[in-house]
């Protein structure tokens, strides 16, 4: 029997995300939902279950109350993959977030 892996409140947020794919470059997508422990990503990028993943989520100023975008750099693992993402758009993957850091923009 599969253990329910979801922890914490999930927020249905569509935010731009950039997935770092190493040698094959970066892939772009959007979040489907987000929690403190993980994220569901809709992107046309194949990722294997169990594989490590690095990605950046961009928070717009209206979400943070600041003057500029805030970028969160995350490292995690793919825990589930759907061939058709939620809503039938491309692929979807669920990732747990192992670590993250906020990155301040140096662009003015």
| Per-residue model confidence as pLDDT tens digits over 48-102 | 899 999 999 999 999 889 899 999 999 999 999 987 645 555 689 999 999 999 9
What is the model's pLDDT at position 84? 64
What is the model's pLDDT at position 5? 53
Q: Are 52 and 77 in contact (CB under 8 A)?
A: yes
**Domain residues of the chain, as ranges?**
16-103
According to DSSP, residue 22 is labeled G
CATH number of 16-103: 2.40.10.220
What is the model's pLDDT at position 44? 80
What is the model's pLDDT at position 2? 43
- pLDDT band of residue 21 (cuts 50, 70, 90) is confident
Centroid of chain to Cα 18: 8
Separation CA 91–CA 104 (nearest Å)? 30
What is the model's pLDDT at position 87? 55
Task: Check whether 10 has a pLDDT greater than 70.
Answer: yes
Separation CA 79–CA 103 (nearest Å)? 25
Task: Check whether 107 has a pLDDT greater than 70.
Answer: no
What is the model's pLDDT at position 3? 45
């Amino acid at each position: 029997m599969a253990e329910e892996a979801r922890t914490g409140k999930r927020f249905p947020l569509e935010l731009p995300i950039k997935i770092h794919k190493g040698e094959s470059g970066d892939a772009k997508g959007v979040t489907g939902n987000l929690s403190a422990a993980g994220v569901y990503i809709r992107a046309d990028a194949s990722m294997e279950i169990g594989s490590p993943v690095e990605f950046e989520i961009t928070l717009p100023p209206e979400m943070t109350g600041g003057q500029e975008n805030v970028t969160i750099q995350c490292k995690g693992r793919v825990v589930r993959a759907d061939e058709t993402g939620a809503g039938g758009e491309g692929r979807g993957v669920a990732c747990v977030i192992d670590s993250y850091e906020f990155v301040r923009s140096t662009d003015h």
